[in-house]
Structure 1
């Protein structure tokens, strides 16, 4: 949990706005306390349970088990307490279906300075891919210089948000697509610059290999985090091992932020 929202202000029906990817991510949590509270919440919100099973069929067994283990005859207060626990624990997922709240409350977007990206390399007339684009923090910044930016994002509410912004602002050089960092839907050697932020880290070898695959020879891979208050004593060792150069600055919120760039030699 990141304390990005007040769980008391959100209905459990917020989960009805989630897509298959988000549901999978949430239900992959096997911590006992989370499972107990999620079971209570699903058992007492049959419409959400039905939606989870039909939107994400591979999760049916998990949903059924959570409900089966849920205690019965709970009070309204006990049910709401379980709902708030789940909402609070999954606040990162809740903000994904409320993009405006994400922009307002997430520090790495709220305090974003576009020069943190533009100062890393020359984006002028480049073909750029933003992987895990979110609300488009990096994509819209790069589009002020680049020839074309492709914003790849697995969450449908984020894609809708970016497409609405593109339409409302008459932006002609951003294309929004679906996609995951582990399986980027583009051919080899497609982009001058491939960038991401808060995306790489679950499987460095696979993720970096895929980023490199779609980058042109002599192109760049950039990992550009936003602002946060996290204290870091050193740069990411996995990225350093992979040949990335890093840049450090102290964030506006008191954290230590490292940005990374690597020239792709093929």
Structure 2
């Protein structure tokens, strides 16, 4: 039966749709055009850095040195450009919810230094009005898939957006932080989950870090002992 199904529905590249050897994979051309992050990275946001990794000495990018993060550590699986950007936009706006599972696999690998037993995974929330229009929260899909793959605790509505916020796209860093200020809080019915827990916040893309900062601050204010962040893609200066 499986072989018959493969004849009828052969595996296709996640990005371009060409045939590939296994499900949920990329063809050679798309793999080459997908900027996976590896090597030395900023310990706070996961952006790639020049040099070689030294496990005993965390290093930080200029953005994180200029604006210290409220979270402890952060990682990203991809640089937000080329095929990575196309896949993120397809997941976010193109109803390609099938991308969440393989993306979570990439995030699991990138975020390995952050993952440990007892960690609570939570997505960056959408306001209910935007969730109704979009029909799903891509960050929640990634968080759920990541929790399943990593066998970790997961709370899809740990955080809420208390008010609708304008889209962040096109705004500078200061405007992004002002836009999100005071908009995110712990869900009133989930307050008992945060105290004494380490929390991992999951999102699709990190640009300035404004939204992730608001999420981290809300968790810490509710009693979380530590917050880390993990994103599918990181916008890198100059791209």
Higher relative contact order (CA 8 A, sep 6+): 2
Q: Same fold (TM over 0.5)?
A: no
| TM-score normalised according to structure 1 size | 0.31
Radius of gyration: which is bigger?
1
| TM-score normalised according to structure 2 size | 0.34
Q: Which has the higher helix share?
A: 1
